[in-house]
């Protein structure tokens, strides 16, 4: 569970601060270093830069290494959350002057701030290294334990080093106990440490110890009237009850915490709440409610792109649920989501991810040990064979697609180069073919051929309901005669005859009418007399050997073909 508090050393005492007189000059050039420093932190981000510029200009003018270092620090601080690279650049420049002037307060703060940048970049080892450097230059016990607390948080949350983190948490805990935990100065840190210890024990499945510290934290949050922190201890205890399978108690805790977390817009713990609600309903066998809450977890992840390894089991539930229901679309959706998250974890949570893998896979590996040893060589060979077959398949498919595209382009060119008159299916009266091959009276054959000619010229084939029965009635003949004459003189079946007429017409219209090329395939289907997109596409491909979508795309790219 993500922490609500990311400790920052905002109250570092860099300079002796005195009460400013009421006669402070308004012009920045006349302000003292102390006044410029205070004004920088009192102003919002958009106005800070002018104080940093004035501070550094004044420091350089007076040639003061100490103040130059602090001026550069202000420049670096102003770049935080905007440009990390630029911030680190100014921090390093500031560090040179700070070390030269032995300004340990600034040195500590620089290392602390760089640690924050490295942590946001998922460079957790470097973040800890900078905190250790901050600790080296620090000479204030309060800051020492703030630094230790931050090291512990990184170890626990990001590296999975729970035991090491617990040792540091306990040291911090003892320190604040000795200082007086009810003092305003220390109470916030003390509550944070109690929460961290409870969370660490929960990660170890030491639930009784976790509950003990949750109870202590609850009392402290209640004493200080800290509503948000109170809700976090309630939620954390709800998580413990989920692990203990006390689902009723867990549900009460989560539902009590969730509205408060929403009030404070605590996104990471709202996600945690929905996850635990999902686990509660999963435990109670309420599949639909479990799915509903796990989907909310995914929705928050998609919105904030922030999730920790603790909450990924909900995706396994969703995948299994949709698989059992035969919902391939949603199954694929959550498989893809989990693959993206898994990739992120392997990149950003290398150490903790390794720990999780070991935790859940070692027992299985032990049971399958003999089987794995016996089949290791075969599995290794099978893996490489499968891998190379997969690569070969991909190459083949890419090559096939390339060849198909090339074939389509050549066929498109042939269609465009062919004289449209040659593509007409109209009856040729000069064609040398005996009128008696059909066994039908010459007069009847000529009548039907003339009617077919009229049918083609008037585009009767665009009627989507046309059939051989309807056409034979219209021609005042029977289906047997009509079918024989079309087979003999058009050299195709009735269906192919009608479809070819429609496709020839569609080619002509698409070439000459740019507006038609903006139609959907469904709209074109109706325009050219077909009853379904599938039948149109199939007839088009049968006649042209390319798909209508490709033909239209090429027409749009090559406007000169129809101009």
What is the architecture of the domain spanning 1-159?
A: Alpha Horseshoe (1.25)
Whether the per-residue pLDDT at 54 is higher than 50: the answer is yes
Which of helix, strand or coil describes residue 426?
A: coil
Task: Find the mean pLDDT for residues 380-405.
Answer: 64
pLDDT tens profile 482-506: 899 999 898 899 999 999 999 999 9
Distances, alpha carbon 101 to alpha carbons 32, 65, 144, in Å = 19, 6, 22
CB 236 within 8 A of CB 198: yes
DSSP tag of 5: -
Task: Decide: 54 and 29 in contact? Cβ < 8 Å.
Answer: yes
In the chain, list all ranges with CATH 1.10.10.60.
421-561
| φ and ψ of 233, to 5 deg | -65, -35
Question: SS3 of 201, please?
Answer: helix
Q: Is 226 helix (H, G, I), strand (E, B) or coil?
A: coil
Q: What's the pLDDT band for 408 if we cut at 50, 70, 90? A: low
What's the CA gap between 501 and 499, in Å, rounded?
5
Average pLDDT over residues 527-537: 91
Q: Is residue 456 within 8 Å of residue 426, measured between CB atoms?
A: yes
Contact call for residues 489 and 453 (beta carbons, < 8 A):
no
How does residue 375 score in pLDDT terms, banded at 50, 70 and 90?
Answer: very low
Which of 132-146, 385-399, 414-428, 476-490 has the lowest average pLDDT? 414-428
Distance CA(204)–CA(234), nearest Å, equals: 19
Q: How far, in Å, CA of 382 to CA of 388, rounded?
A: 10
pLDDT at residue number 440: 84
Residue 68 and residue 102 in contact, taking contact as beta carbons nearer than 8 Å:
no
Between 533-544 and 548-557, two packed helices, what is the crossing angle to 10 degrees?
70
Contact 42, 51 (CB under 8 A): no
Q: Cβ atoms within 10 A of the Cβ of 137, count?
A: 19
pLDDT class for 367, splitting at 50, 70, 90? very low
Q: With contact defined as beta carbons under 8 Å apart, do 70 and 106 qualify?
A: yes
Report the chain's mean pLDDT, rounded to a whole number.
Answer: 82
Closest among 503, 508, 549 to 528, alpha carbons compared? 503
Alpha carbon distance 292, 99 (integer Å): 56
Which of 126, 192, 195, 186 is closest to 154 using CA atoms?
A: 126
Give residue 230's pLDDT. 95
438: its two tokens:
């059909």
pLDDT at 427 exceeding the cut of 70: no
DSSP 31: S
Per residue in 235-259, pLDDT (tens digit) is: 999 999 999 999 999 999 999 999 9
pLDDT over 70 percentage in the chain: 80
Torsions phi, psi of 455, nearest 5? Answer: -55, -45
Helix H, strand E, coil C: the string for 123-167 is CHHHHHHHHHHHHHHCCCHHHHHHHHHHHHHHHHHCCCCHHHHHH
Of 90, 95, 151, 97, nearest in space to 125 by CA: 151
> pLDDT digits over 84-124, tens only?
889 999 999 999 999 999 999 999 999 999 999 998 888 89
Q: 334-338, 367-371, 430-434: which has the minimum mean pLDDT?
A: 367-371
Kind plus residue range of the DSSP H or E element containing 60 = helix 45-61
Residue 542 to residue 534: CA distance in whole angstroms:
12
Q: In the structure encoding, which two tokens stand for residue 153, read together?
A: 């948080």
**Cα 554 versus chain centre, distance:** 34
Separation of first and last alpha carbons in the chain: 66
| Topology annotation, domain 421-561 | Arc Repressor Mutant, subunit A (1.10.10)
What's the pLDDT score for residue 369? 33
Half-sphere CA count of 312, side-chain side, radius 13 A: 17
Residue 437: pLDDT band (50, 70, 90) is: low
> What are the tokens at 146?
């703030």
Measuring CA to CA, which residue among 115, 133, 111 is closest to residue 124?
115
Collapsing DSSP to helix, strand or coil, 14 comes out as: coil
Token code pair at residue 245: 């399978």
Check if the beta carbon of residue 192 is closer than 8 Å to that of residue 169.
Answer: no
Model-wide pTM > 0.75: no
DSSP summary character for residue 438 = T
pLDDT band at 372 (very low <50, low <70, confident <90, very high): very low
Instruction: Reduce the DSSP state of residue 541 to 3 states and report it.
Output: helix
CA distance linking residue 171 with residue 192, whole number of Å: 13
Q: Does domain 226-367 have CATH number 1.25.40.10?
A: yes
């Amino acid at each position: 569970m993500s922490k609500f508090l990311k400790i920052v050393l905002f109250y570092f005492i860099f300079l002796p601060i005195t009460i400013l007189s009421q006669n402070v000059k308004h012009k920045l050039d006349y302000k003292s270093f102390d006044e410029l420093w205070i004004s920088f932190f009192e102003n919002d981000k958009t106005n800070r830069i002018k104080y940093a510029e004035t501070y550094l200009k004044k420091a350089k003018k007076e040639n003061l290494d100490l103040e130059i270092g602090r001026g550069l620090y202000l420049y670096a601080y102003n770049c935080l959350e905007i440009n990390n690279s630029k911030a680190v650049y100014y921090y390093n420049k500031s560090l040179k002057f700070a070390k030269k002037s032995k300004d340990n307060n600034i040195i500590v703060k620089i290392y602390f701030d760089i640690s924050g940048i490295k942590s946001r970049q998922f460079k957790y080892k470097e973040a800890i290294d900078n905190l250790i450097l901050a600790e080296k230059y620090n000479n204030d016990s309060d800051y020492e334990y703030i630094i230790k607390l931050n090291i512990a948080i990184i170890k626990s949350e990001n590296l999975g080093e729970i035991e090491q983190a617990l040792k540091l948490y306990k040291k911090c805990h003892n320190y604040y106990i000795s200082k007086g935990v009810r003092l305003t100065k220390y109470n916030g840190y003390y509550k944070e440490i109690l929460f961290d210890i409870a969370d660490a024990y929960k990660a170890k499945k030491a639930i009784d110890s976790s509950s003990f510290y949750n109870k202590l934290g609850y009392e402290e949050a209640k004493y200080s009237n800290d509503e948000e922190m109170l809700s976090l201890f309630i939620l954390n205890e709800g998580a413990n009850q989920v692990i203990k399978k006390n689902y009723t108690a867990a549900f009460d805790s989560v539902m009590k915490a969730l509205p408060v977390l929403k009030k404070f817009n605590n996104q990471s713990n709202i996600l945690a709440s929905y996850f635990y609600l999902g686990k509660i309903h999963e435990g109670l066998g309420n599949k639909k409610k479990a799915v509903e809450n796990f989907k909310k977890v995914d929705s928050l992840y998609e919105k904030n792109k922030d999730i920790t390894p603790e909450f990924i089991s909900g995706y396994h539930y969703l995948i299994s649920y949709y698989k059992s229901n035969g919902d391939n679309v949603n199954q694929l959706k959550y498989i893809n989501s989990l693959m993206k998250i898994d990739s992120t974890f392997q990149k950003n949570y290398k150490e903790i991810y390794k720990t999780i893998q070991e935790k859940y896979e070692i027992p299985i590996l032990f049971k399958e040990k003999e089987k794995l040893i016996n089949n290791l060589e075969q599995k290794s060979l099978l893996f490489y064979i499968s891998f190379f077959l997969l690569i070969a398949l991909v190459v083949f498919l890419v090559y096939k697609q390339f060849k198909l595209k090339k074939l389509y382009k050549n066929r498109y060119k042939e269609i465009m180069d062919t004289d449209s008159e040659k593509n007409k299916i109209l009856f040729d009266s000069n064609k040398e073919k005996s009128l008696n091959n059909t066994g039908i009276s010459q007069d009847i054959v000529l009548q039907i051929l003339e009617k077919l000619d009229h049918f083609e010229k008037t585009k009767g084939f665009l009627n989507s309901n046309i059939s051989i029965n309807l056409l034979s009635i219209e021609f005042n003949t029977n289906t047997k005669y009509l079918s024989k004459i079309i087979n003999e003189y058009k050299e195709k079946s009735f269906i192919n005859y009608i479809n070819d007429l429609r496709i020839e017409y569609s080619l002509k219209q698409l070439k000459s009418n740019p507006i038609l090329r903006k139609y959907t395939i469904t709209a074109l289907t109706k325009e050219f007399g077909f009853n379904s997109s599938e039948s149109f596409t199939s007839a088009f491909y049968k006649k042209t050997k390319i798909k209508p979508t490709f033909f239209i795309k090429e027409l749009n790219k090559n406007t000169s073909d129809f101009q």
